[in-house]
Amino acid sequence: MPHKRAKRSIREKERAERKSDLAPTNLTSSNEDIPKSMARIINAEAIQSAYRAKKRAAEEGGEDGDGNGKKRKKRRKEEESAAARNSLKIKPGESLKHFKRRVEDDMRPMIRTAMKDTTSISKQKFKESVKDSKDSDKKGKGKSSGNDEDEEDDEGQSTSSKSKKKNAGGRRSASPEFAQNSSSAPKRLNDIAQAPPQFNSTPRLQRLVQKAKEKKSKEVDDDENDDADGIVSAQQKRMMELEREKAINRYRSLKEAKLKDRQTSG
């Protein structure tokens, strides 16, 4: 497409050849530069007729077993992908890195669909299990209301049998520190504790700490008793003071003798 304007002489010559005041023809109207939206409106009938013919041909092909256009495209893509999977072989001159990447790209849609299928199946199984557990809980509540009297009769027999089993167990019987308290409410995974646990028997570590405290308190008491037994009398205090004064005087005399020796020698 030329970007420069032709000379005036050439333009006047072309205008003279085209002439003027002529009736419009089909060629000129079809080749005329008009907007696309206006061209669609003008050619609407031709476009609709072409679309109907295409749709009719697709329906006729579906009756013959060939399927419509979308199905054909989908089938073609599946066939191409299957052929590509079957022909997943390393090409001549291709490195292992590029071959591995090509294999991963080809297998990624299959992995994604498999993951979606597994997640949907697992969700369905979880919903079914929740529904079954709810049904079983409802049935258990109905049976429990009818069997309360039977349980009261059998309670004495069950307690006697449990006591016999505990006595027969010998070494396997649980220690009193870890004795299990029977409770009517069942313990489940998501139960919320309404109060802190209560320990009827003191644990072993707490007993050891208590014994150590008692031993320490006894030692302190013994020391106090020893101090009370060693009371000093007034005569003993006087004798100790005299001995202390003698030691001080002796030290002072020795110090004075040393100073005199230094002065005489100096």
C-alpha distances in Å from residue 18, one per residue of 2, 7, 22, 123: 20, 17, 9, 77
Say whether pTM exceeds 0.85. no
> What's the pLDDT at 144?
57
- Tell me which of 87, 105, 123 is where a domain ends: 87
In a domain, 261, yes or no: no
Q: Kindly state whether residue 105 falls inside one of the protein's structural domains.
A: yes
Q: Which residue segment(s) compose the domain that 100 sits in?
A: 92-140
Residue type, 34: I
Residues 101 and 67 both lie in one domain: no
Closest CA to 180 of 200, 164, 155: 200
Tokens 């069997």 label which residue? Answer: 147
Phi-psi category of residue 100: left, alpha or beta, with phi > 0 → left and psi -120 to 50 → alpha = alpha
Among 65, 87, 109, where does a domain finish?
87
pLDDT at 165 over 60: no
For residues 73 and 58, the answer to whether their CB atoms sit within 8 Å is no
In order, the DSSP letters of 25-71 are -HHHHHHS---HHHHHHHTHHHHHHHHHHHHHHHHHHHHTTS--HHH
How many domains, in total, are found in the chain?
2
Three-state secondary structure string covering 94-126: CCHHHHHHHHHHHHHHHHHHHHHHHHHHHHHHH
Q: Is residue 78 part of a domain?
A: yes
In eight-state DSSP terms, residue 188 is -
Same-domain check for residues 48 and 65: yes
Assess whether 131 and 98 both reside in one domain.
yes
Report residue 246's pLDDT band, with 50, 70 and 90 as the boundaries.
Answer: very high
In the predicted model, is pLDDT for residue 87 greater than 90? no
Indicate whether 74 and 96 sit together in one domain. no
Q: Is the pLDDT of residue 119 over 80?
A: yes
Residue 202 has pLDDT above 70, yes or no: no
- The residue out of 140, 172, 201 marking a domain boundary is 140
Distinct helix (H) and strand (E) counts, the chain:
9, 0
Q: Domain check: are 71 and 101 in the same one?
A: no
pLDDT band of 49, cuts 50, 70, 90: very high
Average pLDDT value for the chain: 75
Same domain, 78 and 60: yes
Residue 240 included in any domain: no
Does any domain span residue 245?
A: no
| 25 domain residue, yes or no | no
Residue 191 lies in a domain: no
Q: Is residue 29 part of a domain?
A: no
**Stretch 157-163: mean pLDDT, rounded?**
55
